[in-house]
A and B are shown apart, each in its own frame.
Chain A
Amino acid sequence: MKDMNPQDIAGEYREYTLTYYDGTSRKVLVTDIETPYPDGKLIVSTTDLQGIITHANQAFIDMSGYTREELIGQPHYILRCPEMPKAAFRDMWETIQAGKTWHGYVKNLRKDGGYYLVYATVLPNFKDGKIVGYTSVRRKPSRRKMEEALQAYARMREEETA
């Protein structure tokens, strides 16, 4: 996956290099600009077993800042924000690979370096008893619960980087 492009970034940014579970690395550029999650909007996407995006609805496009063409075929970690602890995503993958539904609060990175906050539900899709992919639905979170989750994530990040 390509590094983020400074030309796409709105405002001053910090630079991080993220290494994902599959060993690939990417330079991400991050600002502190939040795009508020609109009431009533639902981001819907599907991925294959490897987490490669196969469907993105209009809300996903609006909130992430990417075009549909830029999202389809990319790993879902294109949205990974450096402030999210790896353990949160490890927990998610373990849960959904075991055939269960995962819920959690997530800070997502936009194409322009800003972020948006969501309450995410990810569930496995079955065909003939086998998991064939995953559906993810993101909605507006409760502000208080989101703040609590972000504080917990900050502590988890400290432990991960210690």
Chain B
Amino acid sequence: MTFQLTVSPDFPPNHIAGWYIFNTWLQKALNLPIHLELYPSFETQREAIQQGKVDMIYANPYDAAMLIREKGFVAVARPQGKTDEAVIITSTNASYAAVDDLKPGTRVAMTNDPAINLLGMMMLEPAELDSSTLETEVVESYPVAVKLVLQGKADIAFVLKEALEKLTPSTRKQLKVLVESQIGDLYHTFVVGERLADRREAIRDLLVNMHTGPKGKDVLENLGFQGWEPVSADEAEFMMNLIEALK
């Protein structure tokens, strides 16, 4: 039987090769056949999850909560020192300087990344804006959302901070950040499903010790990670409660 590994579609595109290298490393280390499937969108990935096709996933906090609570997945590790933060960006030419300057009817470009959309909407609450007073457009990726802002087709966009940092310097120059979340308690996790229940501890050990070998170090570099740290059931539970509170 071949197991399936997938990655939340919000990862920066320049790390695609990194995940293929990671998959090769993981297959060898576990001595298991693993297929890496990179879904083009959050919807297609969720469909695959619903169909029971996925065994391991590097999941965003929102999907991790669903996978753990509803699908019997267990969080084993998270990238060291990385947390998920959202930014609301606009064009440098825009007249608004802060969230309070935004008015009903503001056009928002967003992806289907539920955690980032929750944070984005939360940051608009002080201006009394919500989905009923905004014009939202859902697009397939952060670069597309950014493009709509730069083309003047959207006033603002909700973007994962890490994705913004990965844009080219010339694109970033044309953007300004209206507000940035400062949470520190939300992060992506590597979650493992029930078909690999007997390998969860082995996978956790492998990931946590990955930075100690030269090969593992190289793989981490390709992912843009320093290393992995273990996630306990209580830590995962805490993050799920936090997501619940933001809904």
8 A Cβ contacts from A63-82 to B = none
Which residues of chain B have C-beta atoms less than 8 A from A129's C-beta? none
Stretch from A18-26, A119-127, A153-161 that touches the partner? A119-127
Contact B245 A123 (CB under 8 A): yes
Size of interface on B: residues with Cβ below 8 Å to A: 22
Contact of A14 with B by CB under 8 A:
no
Contact A135 B123 (CB under 8 A): no
The interface size bin for chain A is 20 to 34
Bound CA span A119–B127, Å: 13
Contact of B242 with A by CB under 8 A:
yes
Contact of B47 with A by CB under 8 A:
no
Contact A42 B183 (CB under 8 A): yes
Contact A38 B122 (CB under 8 A): no
Stretch from A51-59, A83-91, A106-114 that touches the partner? A51-59
Contact of A6 with B by CB under 8 A:
no
Bound CA span A19–B128, Å: 35
CB-contact partner of B183 in A46, A57, A143, under 8 A: A57
CB-contact partner of A142 in B98, B127, B180, B182, under 8 A: B127
Which residues of chain A have C-beta atoms less than 8 A from B128's C-beta? 142, 144-145
8 A Cβ contacts from A3-44 to B = 38-42, 44
Contact A137 B238 (CB under 8 A): no
Main secondary structure of the interface of B (DSSP, over half): helix
Contact B126 A42 (CB under 8 A): no
Contact A142 B125 (CB under 8 A): yes
Contact of B185 with A by CB under 8 A:
yes
Contact of A101 with B by CB under 8 A:
yes
Bound CA span A144–B182, Å: 23
Which residues of chain A have C-beta atoms less than 8 A from B127's C-beta? 142
Which residues of chain A have C-beta atoms less than 8 A from B244's C-beta? 101, 123, 135
B132 CB to nearest A CB, Å: 14
Contact A125 B241 (CB under 8 A): yes
8 A Cβ contacts from B191-247 to A = 237-238, 241-242, 244-246
Bound CA span A121–B185, Å: 16
Contact of B36 with A by CB under 8 A:
no
Contact A101 B245 (CB under 8 A): yes
CB-contact partner of A137 in B98, B179, B245, under 8 A: B245
Bound CA span A95–B123, Å: 26
Contact A40 B180 (CB under 8 A): yes
8 A Cβ contacts from B162-187 to A = 179-185
Bound CA span A59–B184, Å: 9
Which residue numbers of A lie inside 8 Å of B, CB to CB? Answer: 38-42, 44, 46, 55, 57-59, 101, 119, 121-123, 125, 127, 135-137, 139-145
Further 15 A-B residue pairs, CB within 8 A, beyond A44-B242, A135-B245: A38-B182, A39-B99, A40-B123, A41-B182, A42-B182, A59-B182, A121-B246, A125-B237, A125-B241, A135-B242, A136-B245, A137-B246, A140-B125, A141-B125, A141-B126
23 contacts between A and B (CB under 8 A): A38-B182, A39-B98, A39-B99, A39-B123, A39-B179, A40-B181, A40-B182, A42-B122, A44-B185, A46-B238, A58-B184, A59-B183, A101-B244, A121-B245, A123-B241, A125-B241, A135-B244, A136-B245, A142-B125, A142-B126, A142-B127, A142-B128, A145-B128
8 nearest A-B residue pairs (beta carbon): A137-B245, A135-B241, A39-B179, A40-B181, A140-B126, A121-B245, A42-B183, A40-B179
